[in-house]
Amino acid sequence: MAPPLNHPPGMNFVGDPQHEQRPIDADASVYYGGTEYHSRSRTYSTSTSQGPKRSTFQDDWHLRPRRMSHDEKSHSAPRRFLIDVEETIRLVLEQEDTDGDFQISITDAGPKILSLGTATSNGFKTFDIRGTYMLSNLLQELALARDHNRKRIVLDEARLTENPVDRLSRMIKNSFWHSLTRRIDGDGLEIICADPKNRTGRIQPRIYVPHGEPSMVDYYRRIASEKPHLNLDVQVLPPNPGDPYFVKSLNSKPGILALAMNEVDDGRGGRTLKGIPFIVPGARFNELYNWDSYFISLGLLVDGQVQMAKGIVEHFVFEIKHYNKILNGSRSYYLSRSQPPFLTDMALQIYNQLDRSDLEANRQWLKRAIQAAIKEYHTIWVAEPRMDPKTGLSRYRPEGVGIPPETEATHFTHILEPYAAKNGLSVNEFSERYNNGTIREPGLDEYFLHDRAVRESGHDTTYRLEKRCANLGTIDLQSLLYKYEVDIATAIREVFDDELELEEDFDLAPFPPSVEAYANPHRERSSARPQTSAEWFARADFRREVIDKYCWNESKSLYFDYDTVQEKQSLYESATTFWPLWAGCASEEQGWKLISDSLKKFEVLGGLVSGTEESRGKISLDRPNRQWDYPYAWPPHQMMTWVGLERYGYLEDAQRLAYRFLYMMTTAFVDFNGVVPEKFDAVRLSHLVDAEYGNQGIDFKMVPREGFGWMNAAYQVGLSFLTNHMRRAVAACTSPEVFFGRTMMGEHTAAPPSSVVNDPLGLAMENLTLSPTLSSLGSATPPPSYSLP
């Protein structure tokens, strides 16, 4: 009789009952972070390649091995595979990653087949893993197992065949939000001080602490002393940090801005400060951003992360108190620039989901948020220069001096070259002299006024706003401010007994606005009297009248931006025309006209494009595409429109648009190794875009770690609009053309242009032939409907 095998104590084997208790859809920390399981055999099998290592396409299918009798049958128990992690990673990449980007996608020319040994046979019997989706999931699972220091794993096949909708939603909820979480304190500074947009990479890490926060100054100086390797420079800002000349003086010494903190127990009987966590957009955007955070918060609320969303509001309240506005981003070069205002809706949505066990605490929290929003409204959005007193329209019009410093070094070269040549200087010499004021160029001042306004609008960049943004009363800003006015009025009436005292002292903007009223230097102070709902409802009514007068175009059934200098509508057709539906300032008739007459202008296969092709105009070498123009689609436009349509009773239209966008996201996720990008070309259904800054969120190795903030949110919010039937169809990658029928396509939107290739493999070959670089890749459009590869 053979001697018994002696195993180390505590060793666990495949097939033990405890293994059955591991949830198949568990997060990686649970799935790979627990007990390690072993085979009972004396050897441990590794994955094997089937067929040639550099298989191409159709011509070599005869070289693939036929299914053998040792393959497990499809009716067997759920399969598990015994896998050597490092060896299988090596094999998958060597065989399948033919373009060397550490991803398995439809653009790779590998054989798309790999055999894995099954657990029930101790690795002797094998089963083929086939197709892009299963192989990319395999690579992702192996990378996650490596993260948890696993050398060998027992992997459930269900992890590889997981419904893609469930998988992506699970990854967003359990992994992506966590990876995008930051804190500005001793534990989080090492990550967040690094500015990915830093041109030189040689600038010392620096944090700017607002005036009036001595405890925060002491805290960060202590951290700098305790962690000398950070090389952290702690600076204190003056009382008015948004002064444009002061902001310009920081261009050579940029840094992160301090945000809200809580006082907590330090574990040694004392007290210390701890940063309130928040979510960053992702990729190169490693700080707190304004309107990104609003849409991110919608996703957080869907996923039950109310406290995280609440913390982001705390940061915005802190910014208004200390920096006088909600900043474009929490870096020093954003101190004079805001972004689209969403605070009131964000605060009210969170308030409605807070734990009801302490109603008074919730009420006090909302009070702080509404007080901050009122200050921001009066001191930023209805104060000059953003307010145009003649029309009563607000504008994106931030102050600033010189060239915006956060852009790439060559971003403005084509603008600066003529001025440099006129002055007989190189571009670098001219830029330095222009920035320090020794050379004055009014034409260039005007250009950068509008450029900064475009960046404040969040729509950077688009031909809709180029060289005129600071003069435009945009329909999106008017809609947001109408919502502010209604939200503030409603909160005062419903929560604060129709009377709200303001704790901070500042000037109140005149109402109703007029040139004469704004010319009068005397202002009512915020501390003079309590706020009431009546005055805020009156402001909302006035703004709705102004919107109808200047922005609504009855003959075109669209809202347009209004040029306050040229005194006429700017007839660029933008998806922001649907924002009045979100805000509730459109009449029922205007809503009907928008949906029945104008929605078809923007609806394409992948959802809503940012603007119409006709408005964008022709693209050429001298007039390149802008990323916020046709044919690109962004999460903010989708979510605002879905909610607006639902609000006005057009739920089926909202569901159709949500289906289109989620279909585009899901097919990219399936075909491109789990990618979740910043934006899409919604006509060609591709994230491989070359407009201006390319695309964010696509540069990862083996497994996506973050997705992209507002795209993650769009997926979670979009799923809440879909029926179960629609969700199943998206998971099966059923094209909208098929799901809704071609008749509906004809009724609601134009079919994709005939030049668009509907074969993903053929298009991938076309792209690879053009150039191996991302910037020259075209767009990979999935076929109308296909099963998971």
User: Which pLDDT score, from 0 to 100, does residue 767 have?
Assistant: 46
Highest mean pLDDT among 109-123, 132-146, 738-752: 132-146
Q: Note the pLDDT of residue 784.
A: 36
Task: Answer yes or no: are the C-beta atoms of 669 and 675 closer than 8 Å.
Answer: yes
Q: Is residue 195 scored above 80 in pLDDT?
A: no
Number of residues that this document lists for the chain: 789
* pLDDT reported for residue 768: 45
Residues 631-672 pLDDT 10s: 999 999 999 999 999 999 999 999 999 999 999 999 999 999
Residues of the chain with pLDDT > 90, as a percent, come to: 79
Residues 6+ apart with CB under 8 A from 510: 517, 518, 520, 523
Residue 774 pLDDT exceeds 50:
no
The per-residue pLDDT for 779 is: 36
Q: What is the pLDDT of residue 21?
A: 65
What does the pLDDT look like over 336-366, one tens digit per residue? 999 999 999 999 999 999 999 999 999 999 9
pLDDT in tens, 451-499: 999 999 999 999 999 999 999 999 999 999 999 999 999 999 999 999 9
* In the chain, % of residues over pLDDT 70: 85
Does 735 score more than 60 pLDDT?
Answer: yes
Predicted pLDDT at 14 = 60
The verdict on whether 460 is a catalytic residue reads yes
For residue 246, what pLDDT band results from cuts at 50, 70 and 90?
very high
* Residue range 402-415: mean pLDDT, rounded: 87
Catalytic entry in 162, 292, 388, 460: 460
Would you place residue 56 in the very low, low, confident or very high pLDDT band (cuts 50, 70, 90)? very low
216, 321 contact by CB (below 8 A): no
Do residues 126 and 71 touch, judged by C-beta distance below 8 A? yes
Calculate the average pLDDT of the chain: 88
How much is the pLDDT for 190? 83
At 700-733, the pLDDT tens digits run 999 999 999 999 999 999 999 999 999 999 999 9
Burial 48-59 (b: 16+ CB within 10 A, else e): ebbbeeebeeee
Give pLDDT tens digits for 574-594: 999 999 999 999 999 999 999
Closest Cα to residue 659, out of 595, 730, 560? Answer: 730
Q: What is the pLDDT of residue 202?
A: 63
288-292, 646-650, 764-768, 777-781: least confidently modelled range: 777-781
* Mean pLDDT within 251-271: 94
pLDDT at position 743: 42
Amino acid 406: pLDDT: 84
Q: Model pTM greater than 0.75?
A: yes
Q: What is the pLDDT of residues 511-523, one digit of tens each?
A: 999 999 999 999 9
Residue 8 has pLDDT above 80, yes or no: no
**What is the pLDDT averaged over residues 287-309?**
97
Which pLDDT score, from 0 to 100, does residue 192 have?
83
**Average pLDDT, integer, range 282-293:** 94
Copy the structure tokens of residue 80: 């598990």
Mean pLDDT score, 178-191: 93
Pairing between β-strand 393-394 and β-strand 387-388 as defined by DSSP bridges:
antiparallel
- Alpha carbon 307 to chain centroid, angstroms: 19
Cα–Cα distance, 217 to 208 (Å, whole number): 9
CB-based contact 338:377 (threshold 8 Å): no
What are the φ and ψ backbone dihedral angles of 782, each rounded to 5 degrees? -65, 160
Amino acid identity, position 325: K
Say whether pLDDT at 752 is over 60: no
- Quote the strand ranges of 329-443, DSSP E: 387-388, 393-394
Q: What pLDDT sits at residue 694?
A: 81
Pick from 489, 497, 603, 617: nearest CA to 544: 489
Residue 787 has pLDDT above 50, yes or no: no
197 against 286, higher pLDDT:
286
Residue keyed to tokens 């967003």 = 172
pLDDT band at 76 (very low <50, low <70, confident <90, very high): low
Rounded to whole angstroms, the Cα distance separating 92 from 95 reads 5
Burial class (CB in 10 A: 0-12, 13-18, 19+), 45: buried
The dihedral through the CA atoms of 243, 245, 248, 250 has a sign that is negative
